[in-house]
Amino acid sequence: MARVAIVTGGTRGIGAAISKALKADGFKVAAVYRGDDAAAAAFKAETGVAVHKWDVSDFAACAAGVKAVEAELGAVDTLVNNAGITRDTMLHKMTFEQWKAVIDVNLNSLFNMTRQVIEGMRERGFGRVISISSINGQKGQMGQANYSASKAGDIGFTKAVALENARKGVTANVICPGYIETDMVKAVPKDVLEKSILPLIPVGRLGQPEEIARCVAFLASDAAGFITGATLSANGGQYLA
Ligand code: CAA
């Protein structure tokens, strides 16, 4: 029977590539998005992947949303916590709203979403929780006290969930992409990207969303059952953790 996957932030950027890769591997996929109806509709038309709209920073919305997906596709075996935002600015200029928005979407969503599916995964004796952190959660990044804190939190969350569920057939792993060619990275000031980021990437280019999607597809597969609590860096050599 086909496995069922939810991919948050699954209609654009890295998330869209993940949704497509899992579908190609035979999963029934639900891609969750928050705001961009036009992008979601285009993604659905292009891929045939089911799209669902809710805010992953809202616990009650996650509970209702997961219930709706399960009614449509069946019990969720695979959760990809991919949704993420930036509100880059130096800490000495950062507002509480900028701090909170990033922590809510990038970190609290892991609780909000994983909590909905973890009991069922344990009961059925199989599950895959894959979260997308960042190189900047590993090494820190100027202008990203909020983002780096949230992404470091994703790594700690994953390690705890891995330990708690290892005996239940449920793995939890985290991927740390480097700078990937998405709208998020295109929003970095051009001179900063060219002068301060690209020269630090040993492979000499940005990554592609599909290169992260292949990591997710592997960790989601039955073949990856012995890998849990792992942090997989995919950053072109920019940071060797
Ligand atoms: N790496 C290295 N140096 C950086 C840098 C970075 N990522 N970001 C900024 N700097 C440097 C700038 O080159 C500049 O250096 P010089 O003074 O020598 O020219 C200095 O910091 C100050 O930068 P600004 O003049 O731009 O200062 P600002 O106050 O206007 O803005 C900033 C500061 C908000 C940090 C802005 O520079 C910025 O947005 N930088 C990009 C931050 C970044 O890398 N964000 C990652 C977004 S992509 C992402 O988050 C995905 C992921 O997981 C990797």
pLDDT, tens digit, 9 for 90 and up, residues 38-85:
999 999 999 999 999 999 999 999 999 999 999 999 999 999 999 999
* Other Cβ atoms closer than 10 A to 173: 24
Closest by Cα among 214, 81, 54 to 151: 81
Reported CATH class of domain 4-234: alpha beta
147 is catalytic: yes
Atom of ligand 1 nearest to the CA of 143: 35
**Which of 91, 105, 196, 238 should be mutated for ligand 1, with most atoms under 8 A from CB?**
196
Give distance in angstroms: CA of 55 to centre of ligand 1.
28
Question: Taking the complete model, does pTM exceed 0.85, yes or no?
Answer: yes
Give distance in angstroms: CA of 192 to centre of ligand 1.
6
- What is the CA 124 to chain-centroid distance, rounded? 23
Return phi, psi of residue 82, to 5°. -115, -25
Closest by Cα among 147, 143, 132, 61 to 100: 147
pLDDT, tens digit, 9 for 90 and up, residues 176-234:
999 999 999 999 999 999 999 999 999 999 999 999 999 999 999 999 999 999 999 99
Average pLDDT of the segment spanning 123-148: 98
Please say whether the beta carbons of 137 and 144 come within 8 A: no
**Which of 85, 192, 194 should be mutated for ligand 1, with most atoms under 8 A from CB?**
192
pLDDT, tens digit, 9 for 90 and up, residues 152-177:
999 999 999 999 999 999 999 999 99
